[in-house]
Structure 1
Amino acid sequence: METKKYDNHIYKPLMAGLFAGYIATVFNLVFDVFFRQKTDFPLHELINVSTIIFATLFALPLAGIAFAAIDRLFPKGDRIYIVLSTLFTVLCIYGTLQVHRSPDPVVTTQFQHLLLGMVIISGVFATIGVPWLVKHQDVYM
């Protein structure tokens, strides 16, 4: 039987990002359901099941690729990645708080809180989950 060899330096972080994306997607969907039930949030055009799945499963494998690149280019790249990912998450949180979705301030605040929760969930999985899963690949392989 022929075995396939993969370049572990990109394969492991990419698969870790994909697995972290699956988990973060489930957390984002659960958060979305609970948030909408609690607040009766009326707007569903931008944040819905499709966009949650697509955005999360697109962003976290990219985080895995970024981890692989930073880890290859720098000694102690995992620590540099964590710092940069934390900064990026903080910038996304700041950007989320600047969004004005509706003329109604209550709807705008609800939208910001919904988006903020998803940014935090995805940011935590990108910042902590991807490096941890790269080092503990037995969890998903």
Structure 2
Amino acid sequence: MIAKKERDYLQTAARQEVKLRQDYIGRTWLGSLPTQISYAAVDLLARQYRHAEAAVKGNKTLPPCATSCHFTQQYAMPCVHYIAEKVILEGAPLTKEVIHPRWWLDKPLVFLPAIFYVKSTNPAS
């Protein structure tokens, strides 16, 4: 059963790598993300980018992130505010490190959120 789950996961990851949309490959703001994260995540980021780009080009101010933005909490990816500031205004491409590992095509075998890391108080360990 575990071998089947692993095989299914690897097949799904391979399909998503092949299914990458050609219009996203080569976009400087995405960097190498189209080959590293799922196509669903790329679509979500592209939507956020379009909203950020419209706001920046139209000189519109976005409402404060803390009061209006739930995208990062829901999807664990950069929101429109982050994209507007870092990507559009500063010109830095998005990196894999700002995307939660659940969206990565090559997931780490062991992923524990920082809350689960326990510092040992025993100096011998």
TM-score, normalised via structure 2 length: 0.32
Between Structure 1 and Structure 2, the one with more helix by share is 1
Q: Greater RCO between the two (CA within 8 Å, min separation 6)? A: 1
| Larger-Rg structure | 2
